[in-house]
Chain A
Amino acid sequence: MLGEVAKTLGIARCHYCGKACQMPKESMENAAACPRCGSALHLRNFNSLSSTWALLITAVILFVPANVYPVMSVFMFGNGMADTIISGIIHLMHAGQYPIAILVFVASILVPLFKMIGLGALLLAVQFGWSINRRQAATIFRIINFIGPWSMLDLFMISILVTLVNLGFIATIQTGPGATAFAGVVVVTMLAAHTFDQRIIWDLVEE
């Protein structure tokens, strides 16, 4: 029994309390509850692939308005200037603030792109049963999970700036519609990483 895959033995690990539970014979797929904490048991998450696909596609669609519309407008002495994510980064670079420009670029552009491309590649591999280096794939998924929340950085910064710089005619900072779409991208990609069942990576054939 040791060294085998739990699914083939009809054993499911409870997602919340970690108990290894024997699934009842008549309900091998679903509809069993953990005897210790009462959570639903699954050998593999129900509809993991299609839910993750749906959320991933939503994220890709939302990523377009997030980059086209301004996320933030700065008004100084009556003169307004709206910035999209990319133009904001370019302005930071012109102002010589390279470290922050790089940080914002990583958090708002690289991280969401890496998440979407990485999850897309994993989904394709599972969907078509490609033989992959499973340890590498698992590492990619762990990175996606770890970096996910850090793209909230820009949104928190905007929420701080709108109250911090609130001086009427002299200086005001306002939010733009792009920020709403970007918030959607962050949340939806986090949910997508959550619905993806990483155990299906290990059900694939090793390269």
Chain B
Amino acid sequence: MANLIESELHIVVCPDCDLVLERHVLKSNEVASCPRCGAQLYRTKPQMLDLTLAYSLTGLFFFIPANTLPVLTFSILGKFSTNTMLNGAEQLFEAGYWWMSFLVLMCSVVVPLIELFLLAAISIALKSQRFFKAAGQMMLLHSKISEWSLLEVYLLGILIAYIKMIDLGNVIPGIGLLCFVMMLASSVLARQAFDVETGFDILEKKTDELCLEK
């Protein structure tokens, strides 16, 4: 057990089945998986920070129009009403369904915004080699909240609402829907471009280098 500290760098523990395995050097875009349970162990991410930054900034760009412009408009007998991402949660809150309103607001607006913001901030911090402590904390926060970002489920919800209402009246997709799809696509790409363990590897390497310089 005494030599464990030295060999620590060369082992990897499977997150799903707890098996101790040897860490190999991968070629770009290769993925290592566990021989026992098939879980993904580690992967290489070429240009991880650049891609994450580009996608997350694109997502942030579309965030405000996606949330404030009409996604769908419903009209019947000359009267019409519109739906935006934000007023769905607002309407539920006014009707007294504060718990549902909170959940919809969190999963479709707040968490996706925080996620995009964190991914952009993490890549900037790691690229500029500053704010290491903040970068670590942001990566932890990101891995805790990211599973509650449910934009892709929301898109399917829009689709079903559209098909359901098409028999009753006139449903027109709005410009907000286009912005929403763009935001969804960039946030999925940003999430896929980023890998939290690679992020911590970069952080660790850079902090070690700084310590050696001093």
Contacts and interface: CB of A to CB of B under 8 A. Distances in A.
Nearest to B12: A20
A7 B104 contact: no
Interface in A145-176: 149-150, 152-168, 170-171, 174-175
B145 interface: no
Q: Which of A104, A149, A159 has the most CB of B within 10 A?
A: A159
Given A1-B11, A4-B20, A149 B147 contact: yes
Interface stretch (A10-18, A48-56, A120-128): A10-18
A20 B22 CA distance: 12
A166 B16 CA distance: 47
Contacts of A39: 140
Contacts of B81: 163-167
Nearest to B169: A171
B139 interface: yes
B19 A157 contact: no
A179 B101 CA distance: 11
B5 interface: yes
A196 to B, nearest CB: 12
A2 B200 CA distance: 23
Contact of B37 (A18, A37, A135, A159): A135
A170 B81 CA distance: 12
17 contacts: A5-B18, A5-B19, A15-B15, A16-B140, A16-B143, A17-B140, A20-B20, A22-B5, A92-B164, A138-B17, A138-B38, A156-B154, A159-B89, A163-B81, A163-B82, A170-B76, A202-B18
Interface of B: 1, 4-5, 7-8, 11-22, 36-38, 42, 71-74, 76-77, 79-84, 87-92, 95, 97, 99-101, 103-104, 107-108, 136, 139-140, 143-144, 147, 150, 153-154, 156-158, 160-161, 163-165, 167-169, 171, 196-197, 200, 204
Interface of A: 1-7, 9-13, 15-22, 36-39, 76, 92, 95, 97, 100, 103-104, 134-135, 138, 149-150, 152-168, 170-171, 174-175, 179-180, 183-184, 187, 190, 194, 198-199, 201-202
